[in-house]
Copies of this chain bind each other. A is one copy, B any other.
Amino acid sequence: MHSAGVLTIGEFARLTHLSVRTLRRYHDAGLLEPARVDPASGYRYYTVEQIPTAQVIHRLRELDVPLADVRRILDSPDPQARGRLVAEHLRRLEAELDRTRAAVASLRRLLDPAPAALDVELRRVPATEVAAVAAEVALTDVLSWYAGAVAELDAAVPEPTGPPGGLYDDALFTAGRGHVVVHRPTAEPVRAGRVRPMTLPAVELAVATHVGAHDDIDVTYGELGTWVVGQTLAVAGPVRETYLVGPRDTPDPAAWRTEIGWPVFRVG
């Protein structure tokens, strides 16, 4: 069984620096079909022409591309489609890198004692008429969903009477998905596309303003919660955020200001 260019799985493994185990798995997953499988013995035979494919798979796996996506990339017929899929994964890597950087920065701030006290205000808010887009959203999708919803909202609301805001169900954070509303206050009811008129009920809010990008926002949530509990109050979602200064206003995250309003009620 040594015709020229035909390799057993072990030889192929040595030439590609993949393990035999991994090659079998790639076969089962439909990623790298052996050139021939002996029907009697089940032996897998590979050819040298498959080495470059194996190397591409190897690189994609080093980039943590899931096997299913690797298959899609390899199956896409023309190089352009392939390039698009790869580029999309690279964008995903970039985004993850941004998140990592943000977590590192936030961790440094958490470990350095940052005693800056938070201003918290108790505010009674009347019922408000808004134009809103609402949906059940997963936590991982909330940023992209928000981008689309706010764009549609901006297009539909000609003269908003205040900055945009959002309502976030507790379950979004504790269960990973929940009801989310993005809204802008309006004088007239607006109904277009996904946009619907909506009345935000009157509530009593504990309000604090978060300064900076949102990577740290749970810290402000924690401080706000600490204050609320210290006042013998309790929180009762959904929480309201108001984007006083956001990416629409300035590209510098350090200048962003987000008002967090947590509905409270008295305990005991």
- Which residues from chain A sit less than 8 Å from chain B, CB to CB? 2, 4-5, 7, 10-11, 13-20, 48, 51-52, 54-56, 58-60, 62-63, 79, 82-83, 86, 90, 93, 97, 99-100, 103-104, 106-107, 110-111, 170, 173-176, 218-219, 221-223, 225-226, 229-230, 232, 234-235, 237, 267-268
Contact = CB atoms under 8 A, between A and B. Distances in A.
A229 B55 contact: no
B51 A15 contact: no
Nearest to A223: B51
B173 A17 contact: yes
B267 A2 contact: yes
B103 A234 contact: no
A9 B55 CA distance: 48
A48 B107 contact: no
Q: How many chain copies?
A: 2
Contacts of A5: 229-230
B63 A107 contact: yes
Nearest to A54: B222
Main secondary structure of the interface of A (DSSP, over half): helix
B218 A60 contact: no
B56 A218 contact: no
A63 B200 CA distance: 37
Given A17-B221, A52-B222, A82-B111, 17 more contacts: A7-B229, A14-B170, A14-B174, A15-B225, A18-B173, A19-B173, A48-B230, A51-B225, A54-B222, A56-B110, A59-B103, A59-B106, A59-B107, A63-B100, A63-B107, A79-B111, A97-B97
B100 A16 contact: no
A173 B14 contact: yes
A194 to B, nearest CB: 26
Given A83-B111, A174-B14, A174-B18, A218 B48 contact: no
B111 A86 contact: yes
Given A11-B234, A234-B11, A99 B226 contact: no
A4 B173 contact: no
10 contacts: A2-B232, A11-B235, A13-B174, A17-B221, A18-B174, A19-B173, A51-B223, A52-B110, A55-B110, A86-B107
